[in-house]
Amino acid sequence: MEFDDRAATQVAEEALDAGISPAELIEDGYTAAMNEVGELFAKGKMFLPHVIAASEAMQGAIKTLMPELERTNAQTKSKGTIVIGTIEGDIHSIGKDIVATMLRIAGYKVYDLGSDVPIMSYIEKAKEVKADIIASSALMSITMINQIQIEEQLKEAGLRASLKTMVGGAPVTLEWARRIGADIYAENAGDAVSKINASFREKT
């Protein structure tokens, strides 16, 4: 909340030394704080530079926690495989980063392709890792139209029936997801985890 990446990382190091679960720290600490930042931004009490600074502080801490989180997750069977990225033409990554982190905490193997991801990169990576879900984020209405291309290219590659797609981002709505044929619409990181969990329960 104070945009202090050094302090955020120090807390992460101290938490690991104290034996605190990295998943618990990320979910109940850093992500909870970012949700608060998001609420203040929505109310006009914080502005985009503040959100970016807070996100950078969180990401610095998560880099410290990730090796231990991955070691812990490696000891348990993965629930499924997810390919995620911010859609082509869009460089925003804060929300997508949080979703990817929360999915890792929830026990999924996540391949984060980053931002401004070409459509075929999703398809190729999904084919390579035998993904269960492709998730794409869009933060601008002019780029969210590219989410349609994921659906089209999956059909072209003959993969559409073998996996599910999830879309999210500020301008994205449930109506948009239905219109383009996406399987899941996620309003935020918590919603993404709960809906993906439900999707895998349906399979079993």
Mean pLDDT is lowest, of 61-75, 110-124, 142-156, 180-194, for 61-75
Q: CATH homologous superfamily for 1-76?
A: Methionine synthase domain (1.10.1240.10)
Domain-wise residue ranges, the chain? 1-76, 77-204
pLDDT, tens digit, 9 for 90 and up, residues 84-141 = 999 999 988 888 988 998 898 888 999 999 999 999 999 999 999 999 999 999 999 9
Nearest to 129 by CA among 75, 79, 70, 81: 81
Q: What is the pLDDT of residue 104?
A: 86
- Strand ranges across the sheet with 164-168: 109-112, 81-86, 133-137, 164-168, 184-186
Q: Distance between alpha carbon 28 and the CA centroid of its chain, in Å?
A: 17
Residue 62 near residue 74, CB atoms below 8 Å: no
52/145 Cα distance (integer angstroms): 25
204 has a pLDDT exceeding 70: no
- Domain 77-204, architecture per CATH: 3-Layer(aba) Sandwich (3.40)
pLDDT, tens digit, 9 for 90 and up, residues 43-77 = 899 888 888 888 889 888 988 988 888 787 766 67
Could you tell me the pTM of the whole model? 0.80
Instruction: Confirm whether 1-76 and 77-204 share one CATH topology.
Output: no
